[in-house]
Amino acid sequence: MTRCAITKIDSYDEDKLLSAIRLIAENTAFPDVKGKIVLVKPNVLSDSYPEKAITTHPAVVKAMIAILFERGAGKVIAGDSPGMQTGRFNPQASGIAKVVEETGAVLVDFRESTRIHDINGLKIPMATAIDIADVVISIAKFKTHQLMSATGAVKYMFGLVPGLQKSPLHLRARTPESFARLILGIFNEAHVDYALIDAITAMEGAGPANGQPRHVGLLMGSESALALDKAEAEIMGYSTVPIISEAEKAMPGCTDAEYPLLNPHDLAIKDYKRIPDGRKTTLRTLFIPNLLSRIGIQTDGRAYPEFLHDKCRHCMKCINVCPAKAIEMRRGKVHIAKRKCIRCYCCHEMCPFDAIKVK
| Longest Cα–Cα distance in the chain | 60
pTM: 0.91
Q: Beta strands 194-204 and 212-222: pairing type?
A: antiparallel
DSSP 254-271: TT--B-SS--HHHH--TT
d(CA 150, CA 279): 16
- Measured from the Cβ of residue 328, the count of other Cβ atoms closer than 10 Å reads 13
CB contact at 8 A, 337 and 324: no
DSSP 54-109: SS--HHHHHHHHHHHHHTTBSEEEE----TT--S-----TTSHHHHHHHHT-EE--
- Domain at 4-267: CATH code: 3.40.50.11440
Q: Where in the chain is the domain with CATH 3.40.50.11440?
A: 4-267
Q: What is the dihedral of CA 63, 66, 71, 75, to 10 degrees?
A: 130
Q: Where in the chain is the domain with CATH 3.30.70.20?
A: 283-358
> String of b and e for 229-262 (b: at least 16 CB within 10 Å)?
bbbbbbbbebeebbbbbbbbeeeeebbebebebb
pLDDT at residue 296, as a whole number: 47
Residue 216 CB partners (closer than 8 Å, separation 6+): 142, 199, 200, 201, 202, 235, 269
CB contact at 8 A, 90 and 107: yes
- pLDDT tens column, 51-102: 999 999 999 999 999 999 999 999 999 999 987 777 788 999 999 999 999 9
Question: Has domain 283-358 been given CATH number 3.30.70.20?
Answer: yes
CB contact at 8 A, 175 and 286: no
pLDDT at residue 107, as a whole number: 97
Instruction: List average pLDDT for each run of 10 residues in the chain, which is 359 residues long.
Output: 97 98 98 98 95 97 98 98 82 96 96 94 96 98 97 95 90 94 97 98 96 98 98 97 97 97 98 79 46 52 90 93 94 91 93 90
DSSP letter (8 states) at residue 160:
G
Residue 349 CB partners (closer than 8 Å, separation 6+): 45, 83, 146, 208, 209, 321
d(CA 116, CA 350): 25
CB contact at 8 A, 41 and 79: yes
